[in-house]
């Protein structure tokens, strides 16, 4: 699955997304493939771009700052949409606002307020997703949302998040636990969708549509459960070389 050319890998990933959509009675157009380009070269990104990928995800602000200007110029006619998908430290909020088209990992009110402030200074309205920790794993970032009372507390915080004028909240994001069988990830994706639906019912946040969930090892189940953005790296680019 993870060998071969980027073009072949992409073809296979798109086919798997389409099949998962078919099982769930969804259209493949409802799912945006975000190619996770952390540690990948400019050439690898360009190869994926040549195969029609327009959405790329970076984990670290520093790495995005290196790549974005180079590729903005190269693909100015049909620009890449840059997704910042990794944890953003508050002290890097200003740089994150400058480099990202959308941030998936807004995981606290403190960070949201800082992003709002810097977006105001930059004269832009920044699309964001709110990261939720639905599993209770200590290693995961996100607003706590693995128990009912925590979800209620998040609903209260969501009111303030929705009021930040320079952030455009588009939905929610989560990372499921790493599991042997992707079926084991299903309840976590179901939980995120349930919370998104609660926000729409109780608080009338009808524009909070996006669900960013699912990666190389579990994206098919995520699509079946309503993912609108899947963040896939290894299945497209092959195993990472961290050297």
pLDDT tens for each residue of 111-142: 999 999 999 999 999 999 999 999 999 999 99
Q: What is the pLDDT of residue 3?
A: 53
Predicted confidence band at 101 (pLDDT cuts at 50, 70, 90)?
A: very high
Mean pLDDT of the chain: 95
Q: What is the pLDDT of residue 146?
A: 97
Q: What is the pLDDT of residue 13?
A: 98
| Residue 227 near residue 214 (C-beta atoms within 8 A) | yes
Looking at the chain, the whole-number percentage of residues with pLDDT higher than 70 is 97
Q: Which pLDDT tens digit goes with each residue over 60-97?
A: 999 999 999 999 999 999 999 999 999 999 999 999 99
Predicted confidence band at 1 (pLDDT cuts at 50, 70, 90)?
A: very low
Q: What is the pLDDT of residue 205?
A: 84
Q: What is the pLDDT of residue 242?
A: 58
Judge whether residue 33 has pLDDT over 80.
Answer: yes
Q: Which pLDDT tens digit goes with each residue over 141-159?
A: 999 999 999 999 999 999 9
Predicted confidence band at 204 (pLDDT cuts at 50, 70, 90)?
A: confident
Where does 6-237 sit in CATH, by number? 3.20.20.10
In the chain, domain spans: 6-237
| Residue 176 near residue 213 (C-beta atoms within 8 A) | yes
């Amino acid at each position: 699955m993870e060998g071969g050319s980027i073009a072949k890998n992409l073809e296979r990933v798109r086919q798997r997304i389409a099949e998962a959509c078919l099982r769930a009675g969804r259209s493949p157009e409802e799912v945006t493939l975000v190619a996770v380009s952390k540690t990948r070269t400019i050439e690898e990104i360009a190869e994926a771009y040549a195969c029609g990928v327009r959405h790329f995800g970076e984990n670290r602000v520093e790495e995005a700052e290196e790549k974005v200007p180079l590729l903005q110029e190269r693909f100015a006619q049909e620009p890449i949409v840059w997704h910042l998908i990794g944890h953003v430290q508050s002290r890097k909020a200003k740089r994150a606002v400058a480099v990202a088209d959308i941030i998936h990992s807004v995981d606290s009110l403190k960070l949201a307020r800082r992003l709002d402030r810097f977006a105001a200074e930059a004269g832009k309205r920044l699309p964001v997703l709110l990261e939720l920790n639905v599993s209770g794993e200590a290693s995961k970032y996100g607003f706590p949302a693995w128990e009912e009372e925590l979800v209620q507390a998040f609903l209260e915080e969501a009111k303030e998040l929705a009021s930040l004028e320079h952030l455009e909240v588009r939905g929610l994001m989560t990372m499921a636990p790493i599991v042997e069988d992707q079926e084991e990830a299903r309840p976590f994706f179901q939980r995120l969708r349930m919370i998104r639906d609660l926000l729409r019912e109780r608080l009338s946040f009808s524009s909070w549509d996006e669900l960013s969930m699912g990666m190389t090892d579990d994206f098919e189940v995520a699509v079946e459960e309503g993912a609108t953005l899947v963040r896939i790296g290894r299945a497209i680019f092959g195993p990472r070389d961290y050297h």
